[in-house]
Amino acid sequence: MTTPVPVAAKGKYVLDKNLGGLFAWSVESDNGDILNAMNESLLGSGSSSDQPVVSNRAPVATAVDQAVTGPVTVTLDGSASSDPDGDALTYKWTQTAGATVAIANSTSAKASFSAPAVTANQTLAFRLTVTDAKGLSSTADVQVLNKAPKANQAPVVNPMEAITLEAGQTQSLHVQATDPDGDALTYSWSVPADMNASGTDTANVRITAPEVASEEHYTLSAMVSDGKTSVQSNVQVTVAPKAAAPADDVTPPADDVTPPADDVTPPSDEGSASSSCDNPVDANASKYAAWNASAVYNNGDIVSFDHLVWKAKYWTQGNQPGFSSESWDLVSKVKFGWKADVVYNGGDTTTYEGSEYRAKWWTRGDNPAHSDVWVKEGAASDCK
């Protein structure tokens, strides 16, 4: 016959093994001793027979997939795993597929391994097993995609236009380059030693044309690198001997400047000067490099434009030389007819309606024939 003692022992066994419950036979004459022993062993002393039995619940393993590009250290993170009963967890990481790697700290929530550089994409698979204090466990499978690096794209360098300089003339050269991958670019110019170059490690190099007895041709090169690939661009520089010049070493005196032939017209009804004064010509202009809209010019750079010689006041690009330009000074020693948009300083002279006028002070837009800013000097001589 069953007694309370073995029933209580069976109840303890049920709890230890996390079983569903137990049953026992009794007779009416046991006064409920068997039932009480069952309740006390399963529910504890004093608990009611209808109190539920709390069973252990399995933990939840959590980890996520990753994509990397080797060589790199990859962290396998299972720290988001949890236990619904709040039990302490143990961890175990194992590799289930892919090229074999060594897992560091494989019994920690966070493990790691080294992903090597690869030439083709590789997938590695891992399994995380988490176990609670009562021996229940769960798993999570993750994949790590080790991607092959993207092939580097070389810098794109725009071609440079050939230029002609006079001996002793300074000029800035600019190499324009971009990188399709967005990499930072470095520059290195190769320039003949006698050109006294500066800024050879930048996109802009400044050179001085050497003294030559006859026309010489030089090839300068700019090497542009993104740190992985380098591209070279060349530019041809022609250096002409320095032209004979007076003391100012820029243009010949006025008597040596030849105006265009048969280019004189009588004054018009609007009072414009003769065409030779409207369109002055400096015979020395052909000895200087022509102005280029895409070129960069710095203070002191000299160019020819519209048959005249001009000097840059400061850094400029794309600003056309002209009488009204703020970027250029006229160097040619020529006379030209009065222009409303030109600034005249005190002592400057101009021609208007066949007469020559001298400015008393700074002026612009004041008609010589109708303003006391101007003093009439007499009949205008031919423009030279």
Give this prediction's pTM. 0.38
Question: For the segment 55-100, what is each residue's pLDDT rounded down to a tens digit?
Answer: 899 999 999 999 999 999 999 999 999 999 999 999 999 999 999 9
Question: For the segment 2-46, what is each residue's pLDDT rounded down to a tens digit?
Answer: 677 777 788 778 777 777 677 766 665 565 676 777 777 777 654
Is-contact 124 112, C-beta < 8 A?
no
Is-contact 128 139, C-beta < 8 A?
yes
pLDDT reading at 356 higher than 90: no
Most confident of 27-31, 308-312, 377-381: 308-312
What residues contact residue 288 under an 8 Å CB cut-off, 6+ apart?
166, 169, 302, 303, 304, 309
> Residue 123 and residue 179: Cα distance in Å, rounded?
31
Burial class (CB in 10 A: 0-12, 13-18, 19+), 44: exposed
Q: Which residue has the higher pLDDT, 353 or 26?
A: 353
Span 230-239, average pLDDT = 95
The three-state secondary structure class of 375 is strand
Q: How high is the pLDDT of residue 48?
A: 46
Question: For the segment 325-341, what is each residue's pLDDT rounded down to a tens digit?
Answer: 888 888 987 777 888 87
pLDDT reading at 103 higher than 80: yes
pLDDT band at 137 (very low <50, low <70, confident <90, very high): very high
Question: For the segment 196-217, what is each residue's pLDDT rounded down to a tens digit?
Answer: 999 999 999 999 999 999 999 9
pLDDT reading at 136 higher than 70: yes
> Residue 219 and residue 157: Cα distance in Å, rounded?
17
What domains appear along the chain, each with residue ranges and CATH number? 4-43 (no CATH), 66-147 (2.60.40.10), 156-240 (2.60.40.10), 285-379 (2.10.10.90)
**Left, alpha or beta for 105 (phi > 0: left; psi -120 to 50: alpha)?**
left
pLDDT reading at 261 higher than 70: no
